[in-house]
Amino acid sequence: MKEFELKYGCNPNQKPAKIFTNNGSDLPIEVLNGRPGYINFLDAFNGWQLVKELKEATGLPAATSFKHVSPAGAAVGLPLNDVLAKIYWVDDLGELSPLACAYARARGADRMSSFGDFIALSDICDVSTANIIKREVSDGVIAPGYEPEALEILKAKKKGNYNVIKIDKDYKPEPIEHKDVFGITFEQGRNEIKIDDSLLANVVTKNRDIPESARIDLKIALITLKYTQSNSVCYVKDGQAIGIGAGQQSRVHCTRLAGQKADNWLLRQCPKVLDLQFVDDLGRANRDNAIDNYIGDEYMDVLAEGAWQKVFKVKPEVFTAEEKKAWLAKMDGASLGSDAFFPFADNIERARKSGVKYIVQPGGSVRDDLVIECADKYGMAMVCNGVRLFHH
């Protein structure tokens, strides 16, 4: 297949639309079901690169949940404990494959943002993974292959219109890439930088101890940032992104946004949240909304209006600010990556509030000394690797 005609571009008025290679070669994909659109393919191709690199860097199956050309979550296939299985709504599915664990983690970290995602999988999609995808609101999936039964499960989704793309895992694009804006063609070399342990060598803080688990998390952060719209910051814990701040003009706003998402991820694990009793037949998306409202300030409005009865069987107690602060204080050992240098130490101060102990960033700010000093104040280990990862 030399080209694939699209229904329209980013918006319905943008026609005609298609995808093709610049050199006229065959597309490295096969559309097995559905009719993916312009944004679907942008998410699919960026997501595939991300999971391919995660697999290469860690040796573990990887998955990402993409929305509007940035990942909402990314993870490798480490086992889930009972609490994570519950907050990701997969505790009823029995034993999950490593790839299914990767997607459950990628989807579950920021479920609000992952609603209606496009999925990328590093490995052949198995039945375990397809059974998770089957019941989530999602636009499509890209993977290097599909088990026959898994493919049939996915084909039945969305009344038979679910987008399923198979990609040639050995496809290698041209070293030069192009992009048209306002009738002007931009040309640049592809960002082929390899994310490995060599990018974690230059530890600039007094604390130089970065355990292997944190090194994996830091690499996950860097690879995730490589395919996240800039400016971007990524928090990672135990093999998965737990908060991604994308596309902000200010660095500290990235750090705050990603930190808030990381905090929500941890607050969902609090017994007070785990014990919420929902009304029967309340869908997962509505449960997610209810939990976010309960964790946030909106729950007071729900109480005042008496609307809690539409969501909960039993009226939950208020989750007080003091209780939240005490629970968040339990977070420790998180990792953080930034796609460009931190211009001020306020980023470090915010990161500390979400339990960050390990940081990787390019360095190069005129205030690097103040940023390092702040990291030293909290006993953090920070790497300055000199590599910027802007993505636009």
Q: Catalytic site residues? A: 67-68, 231, 392
Nearest CA-CA partner of 145 in 114, 169, 171, 117: 169
Longest dimension (CA), the chain: 62
First and final CA of the chain: distance in angstroms?
Answer: 28
Alpha-carbon distance 179 to 199, whole Å? 28
Six-digit token string for 264: 């929500």
347 alpha carbon, distance to own chain's centre: 20
Q: Are 344 and 161 in contact (CB under 8 A)?
A: no
Nearest CA-CA partner of 112 in 324, 261, 298, 266: 261
Residue type for 322, please?
Answer: E
Residue position matching structure tokens 């400016």: 231
31 alpha carbon, distance to own chain's centre: 24
**Residue 138: strand pairing partners:** 117
Q: Are 37 and 60 in contact (CB under 8 A)?
A: no
